[in-house]
Chains A and B, each alone.
Chain A
């Protein structure tokens, strides 16, 4: 079912790139495209991108924007941790027609979510032994707080893939991502270099393709940073894994890129 395109005003589409608490790796994945990225920026009206311009958001302070929401496509990376993160996240949603989760942290909780599995309060004590006034919320994906229209997956995102989907997004369309596993793209598939064939934990069978199996290609197993694809046979896959590795190792591998909670939900 195709959704009706969003209604954008005339002129260049208004695009903004925001960062909540994160390492900003996804913003760098864009900057690292070099000239290609700057050419893309010429096609849009850049409302906010703190890495390359000065004015803080919201910029139209005092001036009532004629059309609300003001931004056509907003990209958000990172997870909300500070009070300001939560505030700005709500504000961005109010101001945007399309809101896109940029990368693994925003979409799935990412590396920061690992702390959820260690028991709230324990992790922070390794850093600040006595202080009690540290903001320490449970890490939750941004779609727990605002409606997310589209996800650009990966840790970090792939710059080229960003451009591919953004072409449609700035026309007011929500792209369709082909739902298939990383194994479909993995050049090692079916050979002795397959991690599963070597009895090593690899999550390629349930992870959304589109990265060209960049990790397995570099002799590193897939850890699911792009999330579980729709239709993945999670239950039977976990049974396969249980034959290869200890339960503990499987659980820990699922924790790294924040997919353990999603898998639990799928198994219910």
Chain B
């Protein structure tokens, strides 16, 4: 028997599902077919000037351009040995946090939630969940506002460049964000309630979880923050997989392998094994460092549902709840970051200082030959970007390993567990279950292909 879902809608990009099952119920073959064409972004970058890199990598993905730009800039800064100013790092963290909130909220509410109520069209969802729709849009609008304030535009930001930004945001725009925050937190609580009360399918399969590994905050703020560890998302030198800690370089060069046999996606495995990344993996590896509201949400959910850690993380559907935890975490993080950028005490209320600008710090740098690797947390998991440059500042070699390319193999393993359980269901219902599990992963096919 063949089970085919030709097009999976409500994911970023185009993909389909295909499986062949024997009469005995044994799965003979199962795969996610990527239907997106290969745009050859890495090949396009070879030979180009480094100044063009942020523009080009941004267009890998319409939903997470920020992380592609930031990771590329960070890679090039390593290659050119540029030390970035602390203020720039804070702004970049805020920028990245805003993208994660935005992407998660879209996925949680508009792409995955309808599956729990057998709703096929978001417009119907919005009729059924009026209050929640408002809340989801409020959170998204807020996070997009941050992206716009820092990047100059919501999709494909303009300002980020190697070493910093072409233009820094105005103080008053950052202050306005703080005024908005209380209402955004209210909205986040409404959405959190929805995802707390959801009945997640009981599904268990062990896998390996990969994410950046928490290290202390960047050196510059060690004194004033007492070197406290943070929930890692913007650059970290270590990767955590299962319980192992590896350097990003070791993980990238020695432990994972790209499969070049099934274009257009170079699928990745760790020592031959599939692994999971993204929200659930980050929460698994670094939950101790979650901000208070987020940590509380995570713990009370486990308590209410009598879930051990093992049970919680064994169920891939909890990737959704983990995204919800992260929405809250990154909202809290955004508040901290904005206050830090504005030099306010954590408890201080903002006041509007019209016209004032952040102090510009210009970074001059010399073009030279070199190479660099950087790892950063994209909404869907760890993104690896590698560049080699020649002495004229042109790209010699480039490799971009996206989260979706890394977790497709893990998704297929989960589908292999799901499929035997749903073989007896009527066709439409079965397809619905398949689509719903695929969407729990929040795959980004444009990223995977690029």
Interface residue ranges, A against B (CB under 8 Å): 19-29, 31-32, 34-35, 38, 41-42, 46, 50-56, 79-82, 84-85, 110-112, 114-115, 118, 122-131, 133-136, 155-156, 214-215, 217-220, 223, 249, 252, 256
Contact = CB atoms under 8 A, between A and B. Distances in A.
B432 to A, nearest CB: 9
A53 B56 contact: no
B101 to A, nearest CB: 13
Contacts of B37: 20-21, 79-82, 85, 135
B260 to A, nearest CB: 6
B46 interface: yes
Interface of B: 6-7, 9-10, 12-14, 35-44, 46-49, 52, 55-56, 59-63, 65, 106, 110-111, 120-123, 126, 137, 140-141, 144, 152-156, 158-159, 166-167, 260-261, 263-264, 266, 397-398, 435, 446, 449
B263 A218 contact: no
Nearest to B161: A220
Nearest to B68: A23
5 contacts: A24-B13, A32-B155, A56-B6, A56-B9, A134-B263
Nearest to A82: B37
B121 A111 contact: no
B41 A111 contact: yes
Top 7 A-B residue pairs of the complex, sorted by shortest distance between their CB atoms: A81-B37, A25-B62, A123-B43, A21-B37, A218-B152, A52-B122, A219-B166
B123 A25 contact: no
Given A22-B446, A55-B120, A118 B43 contact: yes
Contacts of B47: 118
Among B39, B47, B123, chain A packs the most CB atoms within 10 A around the CB of B39
Contacts of B449: 21
B9 A23 contact: no
Nearest to A137: B37
Contacts of A46: 123
Contact of A214 (B13, B141, B152, B260): B152
Contact of B10 (A32, A51, A135): A51
B159 A23 contact: no
Given A155-B59, A155-B156, 11 more contacts: A24-B63, A42-B123, A51-B10, A51-B12, A53-B120, A53-B123, A125-B43, A127-B40, A134-B38, A252-B48, A256-B55
